[in-house]
A = this chain, B = another copy of it.
Amino acid sequence: MGRKHIKPGKVRLTEVAALAGVSPITVSRFFRNPDTVSPGRRLRIESAAKDLGYVPNLAARALASQRTEVIGVLIPSLTNNVFSDVLRGIYDAFEGSRYSIQLANTRYSVLQEERLLRLFLMQKPAGMIVTGVDQTAEGRAIVQAADCPVVQIMELGPDPIDMMIGFSHVDACFAAISHLLAQGCRRIGFLGARMDPRVQRRLQGYQNAMKIAGLFDPRLIVTTAVPTSTTMGGSLFSDLMLRAPDVDAVFCANDDLALGVLFECQRRHIAVPEQIAIVGFNDMEFMASAVPSLTSVRTNRYEMGLRAATMIMDEIEGRPVTERVVDLGFQVMERQSSQQRHAVAPAADRVSGTKW
């Protein structure tokens, strides 16, 4: 036998329908698309629902309609505040819409990512946002099986799963190094932490630029698998000073590292930028107000999240998305910390890069 007694206080569509004097299906329609119900009934249903304190049952809705309004979002880290900006954009875009977000973090592990994708699949999501382009073949297969709009964010690459929005980390770093070279720096160090795929690509951009300039020297590269932090910036810089005491500039793959380098320079009484120039990556808010203000590569993270979400919604709701791969570009925010040797400080930020 099946269930027995229905809990007395329970309010279903049926109860609302009974009170409003209409059929359940009409109440259902009212909640999904009020315009298709005649004004008279509309009012009756509305007040009946309010009186009874009706709350729709999402599970029943999902089961009957064979779809959900859940958007799965997969990011590598909650700690790295790069992603909090992206997330903010995503949440802002879905704000007020009927979609809800299911967020999970992969901890920079493709196996975790695979597991989480499988988990998302059980929800039959309406859309998915995933970070980067380095999914496993299995991971791609799972995403494809979900049969919903998918946006890959943070990077660009060949062969998108569906849609894509990001920028070239290789180019962005190349531009930053080019800026330092233009400022007269020759012994430019590279500091990187965590070394996830995006940092790896920044390293690639660094190597390209240095090799083209004929200035490449592996001793100038100091990296660690440990996550980025200000303290780590200080230690990586200390390592660099041991390996290459003649370094005249430091590119940091993250702004936290750059801040740590600045502090370490203050501790060692190294003048910035006179003795050592500093460039960071991401252009976090504090970079502009540091003393000296710190040069960084601005990436449009909030917009990335916002547009990724918008692309998903457009796709779901049948509005054709023509630009399926979006390059958001970047800007090198040139500040005091990378001032040309013996030059005067600029009155305001100078900018170079793409898309501005």
Contact A78 B84 (CB under 8 A): yes
Q: How many copies does the complex hold?
A: 2
Contact A122 B58 (CB under 8 A): yes
**Binary contact track A246-277/B, C-beta < 8 Å → 1, others 0:** 00000000001001100100110000000000
With known contacts A230-B286, A231-B285, A256-B286, A121–B81 Cβ distance under 8 A: no
Chain A: interface residue count, which band?
35 or more
Contact A289 B266 (CB under 8 A): no
Judge if A38 is at the interface, Cβ distance under 8 Å: no
Judge if A103 is at the interface, Cβ distance under 8 Å: yes
Q: How far is the CA of A138 from the CA of B112 in the complex (A)?
A: 39
Contact A91 B78 (CB under 8 A): yes
Partner of A84, one of B84, B234, B259, B263: B84
Judge if A135 is at the interface, Cβ distance under 8 Å: no
Secondary structure call for the A interface: helix
Contact A91 B79 (CB under 8 A): no
**Binary contact track A78-116/B, C-beta < 8 Å → 1, others 0:** 110100110110010000000011111100000000000
Judge if A288 is at the interface, Cβ distance under 8 Å: yes
Q: How far is the CA of A231 from the CA of B288 in the complex (A)?
A: 8
Q: How far is the CA of A200 from the CA of B167 in the complex (A)?
A: 41
Residues of chain B lying within 8 A (CB to CB) of residue A260? 286, 289
Contact A230 B289 (CB under 8 A): yes
Partner of A263, one of B87, B122, B290: B290
Judge if A226 is at the interface, Cβ distance under 8 Å: no
Q: Which of A60-68, A176-184, A337-345 forms contacts with chain B?
A: A60-68
With known contacts A263-B289, A267-B291, A121–B55 Cβ distance under 8 A: yes
Q: Which of A119, A124, A289 has the most CB of B within 10 A?
A: A289
Closest to A146 in B: B55
Residues of chain B lying within 8 A (CB to CB) of residue A118? 55
Judge if A229 is at the interface, Cβ distance under 8 Å: yes
Q: How far is the CA of A59 from the CA of B59 in the complex (A)?
A: 5
Judge if A123 is at the interface, Cβ distance under 8 Å: yes
Residues of chain B lying within 8 A (CB to CB) of residue A197? none
- Counting from the closest, the 6 A-B pairs by CB-CB distance are A59-B62, A230-B286, A266-B291, A59-B63, A231-B289, A230-B289
Q: A59-B123, A101-B104 are in contact. List 19 more A-B contacts (CB 8 A).
A: A57-B122, A58-B62, A58-B123, A58-B124, A59-B63, A59-B68, A79-B85, A91-B105, A100-B104, A100-B119, A230-B286, A231-B286, A256-B285, A256-B286, A263-B289, A263-B290, A263-B291, A266-B291, A267-B291
